[in-house]
Structure 1
Amino acid sequence: MSRKYFGTDGIRGRANTPPMTPEIAMRLGMAAGKYFRRDESRRHSVVIGKDTRLSGYMLEPALVAGFTSVGMDVTLFGPLPTPGVAMMTTSLRADLGVMISASHNAFEDNGIKLFGPDGYKLSDEIELEIESRMDRALDDKLAAPSALGRARRVDDAQARYVEIVKATFPRGMRLSGLRVCVDCANGAAYKVAPTALYELGAEVFPIGVSPDGFNINSEVGSTDTRALREAVLKYRADIGIALDGDADRCILIDEKGDTIDGDQLIGMIATHWKERDLLAKNGVVATVMSNLGLEKHLAAMGLSLERTKVGDRYVVERMRDGGFNLGGEQSGHIVLSDYTTTGDGLIAALQVLAVMVGSEKPLSKISRVFEPIPQKLVNVRYSGGDPLENETVQETISAVEGRLGKAGRLVIRKSGTEPLIRVMAEAEKADDMEKAVNEVADAVRSAS
């Protein structure tokens, strides 16, 4: 069944343009509220958090109207990281959790992510069922005047999240003596991240902590680490932590100013946990985009790498099915299921800081556990049709895959949030990698 509203991570689009309009948000609230409000013998509730982009002020009340109109009580958190919303969903025993965010996208975009009562993102089946209800939501029976939902705003959600995050750091260990730069992307973690790090004892140098509704992810955050690198070198910091707009991913900068991506973080944590018998099932979960070098590094330790489709929700699903407790994406989504039900950039960074403190070594000495195989990703924008169905494109892909053989990989996929074809190639020789990715990208452009 094709999807009309939901993509790989909830519903996302340009603000005030379908599907990110107040009307569709209200219908989503009505449809999701109806789906989760099945037991008429009790009150039902939903919690809602958001990041700092301007359109959140438009979408939040629309969702509240939808939920309360079908009898759901609403608790509003204001700005809170996505993992915080997942945590609060279970902590407050809500039937549903909602995060209003477009993650790493610019302020012009927004999105809506849904979590079930267990704190996990909804399955494809539930999302499709909610979709089927959305177009008829305005015709469905609404709650009686006496059964309308109530809405309230809580002020301590951020403080609760900070305490949960701090509890994941090893008991008795402190960050005293460490200089930490943290880039909050002018997003949802602009208060909680510096607070948690400070309360654990670090000397904190925050950037990206002045949101104005327009500057989320703008020249800051995990997708643009230039400002963080400058701050790390300026303040002689031991580590730089770059979060994205909703703080469910992180990229690190070491004391020398070099970047550490999600693959290296997965490899480092896996190595550390393996040595301490903390790693479940002798393996980790990552997506098809993770570097082949990570897979070879894990194999050398006797660990498996389970690959999934791109999207942290698919990583989490495989982790749950297989009993794994570590997974993630090269982009910086790191899922530590002993602590969270979704990616959490701040908790992932704290695991790295724990290794630094325990080993008494600088980040540059512990963070690069494998040599990446040359890899390149090219995004090709298209309009109309499906370039991947073009015969010439298919022939080019087949020829390139044959040429790479087992010494490399070719991954081609559609973006779930933008009209892009993502072409990624890996090869042991950089020249082979460049040739492979350029051939396929050129074929896709010609067919677009």
Structure 2
Amino acid sequence: MSGHGPPVPMISRKSGPLAGNADVPGDKSVSHRALILGALSVGDTRITGLLEGEDVLDTARAMRAFGAEVTDLGDGAWSVHGVGVGGFAEPDRVIDCGNSGTGVRLIMGAMATSPVTATFTGDASLNKRPMARVTDPLALFGAMAVGRSGGRLPMTVVGARAPVPVRYEVPVPSAQVKSAVLLAGLNAPGETVVIEREATRDHTERMLAGFGAETVTQETGEGRIITLAGRPELVPQQIAVPRDPSSAAFPVCAALITEGSDVRVPGIGLNPTRAGLFTTLREMGAALSYENEREEGGEPVADLRARFSPALRGVEVPPARAASMIDEYPVLSAVAAFAEGPTVMRGVKELRVKESDRITAMATGLRDCGVEVEEGEDWWIVHGRGHGGVPGGATCASHLDHRIAMAFLVLGLGCVRPVRVDDGSPIATSFPVFEPLMTRLGAEIRREG
């Protein structure tokens, strides 16, 4: 499947038990950062378990365009020969980031304090998404950005020739914005300080420290304060990418709603800034357990077991948990449809500006499948119908959003009637093996036409 090609209609229907190991791909967030920081280090970084979805491959191509040597060694192993902090060359072509908001925003940050100019574009979905949330703080370093109205791609970024360090408070919980500012701070003199009121995923801070950057994180009454000392010489690393918890969410949630299922996800990353979905599912009564807990590459890892859970109940998800599971709300809403009672999700306005407006996309499809949904600007409520109580039978629009497409395909596994998705091609951006993996587990998911 390709997020850049023709539509791929897909269908899912009520399945027998799902069983076996779900060997989900490497973590997308860690994969992006490993490529970028490898390109900013001096020497050869080796990466194993890299997610080879379109989003990450676009970031690999971008690092080549900025002068790094990026080599596919096969079987998820890659090498990156970096150019050092401040060593980016000026690309001789437009940087196409496909569907990846994470990729484009992190790359903009990484190049914003180098004296180079780059033009960025993406697919139809990415070109609708606002970039000002990143370009505004990058302007404080001295970078300039010119794009379409509303701060949208295509956009040209002119890197600062004499960058200055900044102190920036992130206005909304966003790991992308925080990370872009920290990456820009690498080539600024002095100390760059980022303040976030609500903690977001900390892969960038962990990996910066691993590459040899001097970072200090403090928890204060003002929030989490991250201080980065500029212009380090980053040291190349050996990075083993853990399996992506956001991808694992789909086979895990499918097992919970499919009768008789017992699925194991080995080696999943359980960074506490990413594990909010699994905490929430347990509160709903899901049969989830962690086995063989350990640490790999500075990240907590475990094997996750998920079993059919017929007595799920609706819960109120604390707004403070939103940042740790923001990408998982679509599939959580699919599970919530099979719970007893309402599941309330608040503080989630970030969902409005993802690859699609994920609240509207999921609410519309769930209603078409016979589920009552209420929604507001930064909240929504799914009124569950209990196990076996979701009619289904609709064709749901994916809106060029991989997580929307996969969430509806998971939904269909427990519905009375099949659920269709108008276009499953975007799934390739983050989870290229979704279809064969789910089929091997026993899921009735296939392409149409």
Structure holding more strand per residue = 2
Name the TM-score, length of structure 2 as normaliser.
0.30
Computing the radius of gyration from Cα coordinates, the structure with the larger value is 1
Name the TM-score, length of structure 1 as normaliser.
0.30
